[in-house]
Structure 1
């Protein structure tokens, strides 16, 4: 079996692709893979660092939403990228091509469709970007993570599979995650995280109420991001380093840690939501307003509308709001239980298996 995968730009496009590859290897240990990305994108370093996955690059940029001469250059890059992708595809001879998002998928998946190779695109968000909207006209199947995204794609092609990353957080022992950070096993834990680089509004809100946080019975695990770490640690040290507040710049064993927490405060990226719903973790979500199509707010609303999350827009967010919301969830057992159940109902823990099955069915239909 030969599988070509493409996805890039952000970890939200790359990590689901790698999770899918991992799932395929469980069923076909001898399967061959080719990953097509961009030379300067995150995918170049991330994919090649995993080892064992051949990587090829094309040059591509995204369309600007306003009239711009740059769009003419993008069209030319798309045409060249399609031509190069066709060469890669003819050389590799894949049984199926999967695109997990990002500009690079445009020419790669389009080229595959034109060469009559079975194609799937995977849409992580509740509102798709321009690339997947365009590709949906040509591909065989569209794999969705949110039911809400279905309205943007042909119904006869769309199927809800979930995000393969969700499968990777399953099966971990919460005790192991807590012990790795010296968390008290008898107290509830709220994880506050703003992404790999942190989020200044969340950072500022936390620091505003830090003296009150130190008085709480629950524990706060705050992942600051490298940029904000020194500032936050300095403020915590002023309060004699309280035992219920643990500050980390980054967490490398996040799947294990997630299994041991009771509540999360975070942005509303698709991968994060897939992971927490798979585990049934209640959330307080502060969607980033700086993303295309405001998709994070729409992602968050899909949880908030079903009782799995409290959604706070950045413009209405503050330290007092943060502390009030955490208390509301962690200090009320009935609310905590109901939110856990609501989150769990939205989760698709076997997402990687579902995407694999969709691929397998598509290949069999073509043979």
Structure 2
């Protein structure tokens, strides 16, 4: 089958799991093509996949915080952008003529697929879409209610809703329960490669103490990179590898001292391997990052963006595995203290084996493959 994957382009988490799924689909004889925007578009293109650009949806914010009021006030053109997206997705579907459509958190694609009578599957880790907790503005709360109803209505049109996590991890509205499947995470890493193997692969000293930092591909986490640069000389490590993503130029950052021990990169094809070779990973609390850290059972410090309700949920999601600490993104002193204290007790941080075993039972890619083949072949 020819499969069109339309993915949200905010950060690279959605694009990353879509690419992982694509590899499995291709192994089973299917053809995949993509559509996305912003960081997602760049990431898919960097992986040498065929990808069509679609109009971007943007959020406003800075210093580790999403500003909901500013986003809404500057988003008066959202209805126009949404209509442009529908038109562009309609053109892409007509041009590529896929057998089925998979959309990762792009709900307009579901509507278009129904118009064109194409089977459509939604991948999403959040069916509630809350964002108004940070404001008392009544019009924003009304907007939230409207968007929730819109997403619920559009989701009903999908052939199935695929949650890339294990059962019980996400609240599912009663009206969507009959078409929702908990498929497991859409991630991949070579489990045969050890931490030492990966260090030799990437030229990192086997005995070095290493921190890996990632901000998930969007510019909202820029403050975390800046703070890490400021405190790098106070951390008891040999090397700090930081990944900014495509929205940020690594050359913007200057560390006070020990700059030769701090390596800032924009891109890597396999971020989970860098996490695996680290002694400690510091990251924003995106869902794909959370799933990867659980999978490799890596001690970590996860930091949610302010006013990002989904990331706050992801923090609660990972806590039972006993490998995570969290803190405020703007608290530089707490960041320094937490990193150094965590490094001292790494030997005592062990994943909850029962929780981890249950998580690893689910193969999101294989389960997705099974669902779409059973219903379309």
TM-score bracket relative to the smaller structure = 0.7 to 0.9
Given the alignment, which residue of 255, 265, 270 partners 1:249?
265
* 1:33 and 2:52 are equivalent in the alignment: no
The answer to whether the 8 A contact 1:141-1:158 is kept is yes
Cα shift at 1:176: 3.7
TM-score by length of 2: 0.73
Deviates more, 1:264-273 or 1:115-124: 115-124
Given the alignment, which residue of 345, 352, 361 partners 2:365?
352
TM-score by length of 1: 0.75
Matches within 5 A, 1:25-174: 25-28=26-29, 31-37=30-36, 41-51=38-48, 53=50, 55-57=51-53, 59=55, 74-75=78-79, 78-79=82-83, 81-82=85-86, 85-86=89-90, 88-89=92-93, 92-101=96-105, 105-125=106-126, 128=129, 130=147, 132-146=151-165, 147-152=168-173, 154-164=176-186, 166-168=187-189, 170-174=191-195
Task: Report the count of equivalent residues.
Answer: 341
Distance 1:325 1:177, change over 3 A: same
The answer to whether the 8 A contact 1:125-1:270 is kept is no
Distance 1:36 1:170, change over 3 A: same
The answer to whether the 8 A contact 2:241-2:264 is kept is yes
Q: Counterparts of 2:97 and 2:210 in 1: how far apart (Å)? A: 49
Corresponding residue of 2:142: none
Distance 1:311 1:169, change over 3 A: farther
For structure 1, which runs of at least 5 residues remain unmatched after alignment? none
* 1:310 and 2:325 are equivalent in the alignment: yes
Corresponding residue of 2:5: 5
Q: Counterparts of 1:110 and 1:140 in 2: how far apart (Å)? A: 12
Cα shift at 1:128: 3.9
Please state whether the residue corresponding to 2:206 is helix, strand or coil: coil
Please state whether the residue corresponding to 2:181 is helix, strand or coil: strand
The answer to whether the 8 A contact 2:155-2:161 is kept is yes
Cα shift at 1:276: 1.5
Cα shift at 1:127: 5.3
Cα shift at 1:23: 1.1
The answer to whether the 8 A contact 1:192-1:220 is kept is no
Corresponding residue of 1:274: 291
Q: Counterparts of 2:107 and 2:253 in 1: how far apart (Å)? A: 41
Deviates more, 1:300-309 or 1:81-90: 81-90
Please state whether the residue corresponding to 1:151 is helix, strand or coil: coil
Cα shift at 1:272: 1.3
The answer to whether the 8 A contact 1:190-1:262 is kept is yes
Larger radius of gyration: 1
Q: Let me know the Cα RMSD of the aligned residues.
A: 3.8
Distance 1:137 1:60, change over 3 A: farther
* 1:223 and 2:224 are equivalent in the alignment: no
The answer to whether the 8 A contact 1:198-1:224 is kept is no
1:16-64 deviations in Å (ceiling 9; x for gaps): 2222221100111xx33343445xx4454444454453x4455575799
